[in-house]
Amino acid sequence: MQTQLLPCPLFIGGEWIHSKLSGTPVHNPSTGEVIAQCPAGGKDEVNAAVEAAAAAFPNWWETPAVERVRVLFKFKALLEENFEELIRLNTREHGKTLGESRGDVKRGIEMIEFACGVPSMLMGESMENLARGIDCETVRQPLGVCVGITPFNFPAMVPLWMYPIALACGNTFVLKPSEKVPLTAIRIVELLQKAGLPKGVLNIVHGGRDCVDALLSHPKVKAISFVGSTPIARYIFEVGTKNGKRVQSNGGAKNYIFIMPDADVENSTRGLIEAAYGCAGERCMAGSTAVVIGDARTTVLPSILDAARAIKIGPTDREKQPDMGPVITRQHRDRVVELIAAGAKEGAKVTVDGRSTRASDAPDGFFVGPTVLDDVQTGMTVAREEIFGPVLNVMRFADLDAAIEMANRSPYGNGASIFTRSGKAAREFKHRVKAGMVGVNIGVPASMAWFPFNGWGDSFFGDLHMQGKEGVQFFTQQKVTMNRWFSYGEGDIWQR
């Protein structure tokens, strides 16, 4: 019996549009079954969505900021009321465990909490008598139509990085969720519509490169937010800025977790395993490389290997939950397996091998088991490329200085962490390491909503990061006004 496909409509001008365009199958990664078809829109669909957003912008801008965020307060309440439904939908289309989906949705709700406080950050500055008889003031105003292009790995959180702040600042928005996981984004926007968002203020389009290129070139689009792989992030930045858009573009990463000889074995093992294998390694903050320093190879590394072997994988779309679920598609599973083989061919030791792992109760799911590659060297393919799967590289160094020098040669700069009891080592590490987000005894140093998601190097293209005050600055532009007023018949004040 064929599973009935879930609807995957566009949302334009406040109306849900069920397109007959052919597109991309949406899978349940736990079983391999197709659960929806995501239509592949292009220039026409993008133009309709952008025009709807442009038409809605004047009224939304003139809506007082406190009234705009009242919609977001209602939206937050609706997400909390429908929390369990959302996490199960998230898990079904992505493959995360239910616990990981809870984190995905919860972090998205935190972004709405932050956006509800945006009015206080829109306040400008003023100075009386900047010059004789002249006052100066600043205000922050919205840009207009903004766009979000989001990845598959966080169907709830990443879109919510973008449009709550954009809307609170007075912009209108066009969202293009990943064609691999559109259903969670659609359901969340249904709840935003129920919260009372006016028609056209937020719109959804679907599609691949044609859809993205139409968004990048549309003359009425003022700003673009993107999260995805580094090659595409660079392309989005270059094409978007060439077309006069403001762009913030998050790319991929190779994140290093340093394990010092004095590290607490239990806590460092738990932190590293969660960083490497959480969400099946499919996140830009994954701790994909363990940098084992000195005697940590004997004090901590054996514990890490035992913990990786103990991870239970399986389908996540049922009540009994595994430790780790599948990867997103069959094609991605095959790529991860190929990269593991490339590492072995180039000399890495496969000490934990997940290539042949399958779930007995879901034989068609897209599973790769936890894998550890030991003695990885800097020139290897697995050391250079982002694997985006449940693979942990182990690199060995004699001392902290050499390890930091190695990490700083990476073109990426998303995250780096150190596990140690030494304040001196921690201080040296956080001062010298070239990464925008640093953790001390924390495996995943991803910042929360109130601080920027702060990638460096090839992990970020742009000037203003997502989240926090930088997010508000990105979605607004500052206006400076100089004021001088004369009394009737007063004449030139300079002649006094």
> pLDDT digits over 451-467, tens only?
999 999 999 999 999 99
With 50 as the cut, is the pLDDT of residue 258 above it? yes
Inter-CA distances, 138 with 68, 125, 179, 312, 474, Å: 21, 5, 41, 56, 16
Burial of 394 (0-12, 13-18, 19+ CB in 10 A): buried
Cα angle for residues 349, 350, 354 (degrees, 5° grid): 170
Q: What is the average pLDDT across 140-165?
A: 98
Q: Give the N- to C-terminal CA distance of the chain in Å, as an integer.
A: 91
Q: What amino acid is encoded at 35 in this protein?
A: I
Q: What is the DSSP annotation of 364-433?
A: TS-----EEEES--TTSHHHHS---SSEEEEEEESSHHHHHHHHHTSSEESEEEEE-S-HHHHHHHHHH-
3-class state of residue 4 by DSSP:
coil
Rounded-to-integer distance, Cα 349 and Cα 374, Å: 5
Rounded-to-integer distance, Cα 456 and Cα 252, Å: 10
* Sign of the CA dihedral with 416 first, then 391, 207, and 5 last: negative
- Confidence at residue 233, expressed as pLDDT on a 0 to 100 scale: 98
Catalytic residue among 146, 169, 211, 284: 284
- Confidence at residue 332, expressed as pLDDT on a 0 to 100 scale: 98
pLDDT in tens, 334-376: 999 999 999 999 999 999 999 998 888 899 999 999 999 999 9
3-class state of residue 441 by DSSP:
coil
Q: Let me know if 284 is a catalytic residue.
A: yes
**Residue 440, number of CB atoms within 10 A of its CB:** 15
Q: What is the average pLDDT across 431-453?
A: 97
pLDDT in tens, 289-311: 999 999 999 999 999 999 999 99
Rounded-to-integer distance, Cα 363 and Cα 131, Å: 76
Q: Which residue(s) pair with 223 in the sheet? A: 146, 246
Q: What is the average pLDDT across 8-32?
A: 94
Rounded-to-integer distance, Cα 180 and Cα 371, Å: 25
Contact between 282 and 388 under an 8 Å Cβ cutoff? The reply is: yes
Rounded-to-integer distance, Cα 12 and Cα 33, Å: 29
Total residue length of the chain: 496
- Is pTM beyond 0.75? Reply is yes
pLDDT tier at 23 (50, 70, 90 boundaries)? Answer: confident
pLDDT tier at 1 (50, 70, 90 boundaries)? Answer: very low
The first and second tokens of residue 362, run together, are 């879901």
Nearest to 275 by CA among 304, 300, 233: 304
- Confidence at residue 335, expressed as pLDDT on a 0 to 100 scale: 98
Nearest to 171 by CA among 194, 205, 148: 148
For residue 1, give every residue at least 6 positions away whose Cβ sits within 8 Å of its Cβ, in sequence order, or none. none
Q: Which residue(s) pair with 258 in the sheet? A: 291, 418
- Confidence at residue 493, expressed as pLDDT on a 0 to 100 scale: 52
- Confidence at residue 20, expressed as pLDDT on a 0 to 100 scale: 82
Alpha helices in 5-152 (DSSP H): 43-62, 65-81, 83-94, 98-115, 118-121
pLDDT in tens, 59-118: 999 999 999 999 999 999 999 999 999 999 999 999 999 999 999 999 999 999 999 999
Contact between 384 and 337 under an 8 Å Cβ cutoff? The reply is: no
pLDDT in tens, 405-431: 999 999 999 999 999 999 999 999 999
Q: What is the average pLDDT across 44-57?
A: 98
